[in-house]
Amino acid sequence: MTIHTQPAAIDSVKKSLVALKMPRALEILDTTLRRVEQGEVTWIEALDQLLIEELTLRDNRRVSTALRMSRLTTVKTLAGFDFAFQPSLDRNRILALAELKFIDRAEVVHLLGPPGTGKSHLATALAVEAVKAGKSVAFATLADIVTTLAKAEREGSLRERLRFLARASLLVVDEIGYLPVVPGGGNLFFQLVNARYEKGAMILTSNRGFAEWGEVFGDPVVATALLDRLLHHAVVIQIEGSSYRLRQHAALVPENVRSRPLANPPQPKRRGRPPGKANDDPDAG
């Protein structure tokens, strides 16, 4: 018995596929049935193919929707990153991050380096991996986050906005240090970091060393409080290399600009009395 002798049954299957909202299975049904008739695949293989095609379509749609919701302006992949151009970068370390265990541990990944060294590319690629794995992701520049939080504060909806940004499994904050933070912006960002502390993972990209964050946020006290939380459970990756975007014009760029090292992280300050004063304390010892 061939498929041509069972038009009623085939019509019924098509109606069921429409009702079940399985457009891809409906699209390839006739071709798959012909392959069964010609002996290329068995019935069970045909059914498996129909379901795999439909699931693939649905997963692609899910990822596409999630990428739009995350506000990723471009889609980058780890496969598209030129590790050979940045020999200072440990490829295996990045691939380990792509396993996304840092998200489960609510850790903060810091990608530090001069402009053009691939920080945003890597941050975006890791975010895409998280989306594919079904994780909720939010992506924004620091400037956009501060602007959004400042607007919410003026409108009396800051708590709701913080709660929204704290909800994502992964928050990517791009371009820390590229633009000056408006007065009060550091405090607003601290509230967001505090809301996510030990609850949600983050990826931060910056062209400025941690010692410069007081200048970046216009307040050394706020910068210290931010780093206190952002470095507690952290993975710090320093990229020391030239700009990929300027690779074709490297000869025109001064050497000190091509690979300017970032400042070292600030050393933790001792609490209590200054060193050497312990003997002045009657309770010491």
Q: Whole domain around residue 230: which residue ranges? A: 71-258
Are 147 and 170 within one domain?
Answer: yes
Are 13 and 137 within one domain?
Answer: no
Give the residue from 62, 83, 113 where a domain finishes. Answer: 62
pLDDT in tens, 14-30: 999 899 889 988 899 99
pLDDT in tens, 185-203: 999 999 999 999 999 999 9
Are 46 and 171 within one domain?
Answer: no
Q: At what angle do helices 185-196 and 158-167 cross, to 10 degrees?
A: 50
Which residue did the predictor score with more confidence, 72 or 36? Answer: 36
208: domain CATH number? 3.40.50.300
Rounded Cα–Cα distance for residues 78 and 122 (Å): 7
Give the residue from 41, 62, 83 where a domain finishes. Answer: 62
203 neighbors 170 (Cβ within 8 angstroms)? yes
Are 76 and 217 within one domain?
Answer: yes
Are 82 and 57 within one domain?
Answer: no
In a domain, 271, yes or no: no
Are 154 and 207 within one domain?
Answer: yes
pTM: 0.69
Tally of domains within the chain: 2
Are 79 and 34 within one domain?
Answer: no
* Torsional class of 129: left (φ above 0), alpha (ψ -120 to 50), beta (otherwise): alpha
In a domain, 253, yes or no: yes
Are 78 and 170 within one domain?
Answer: yes
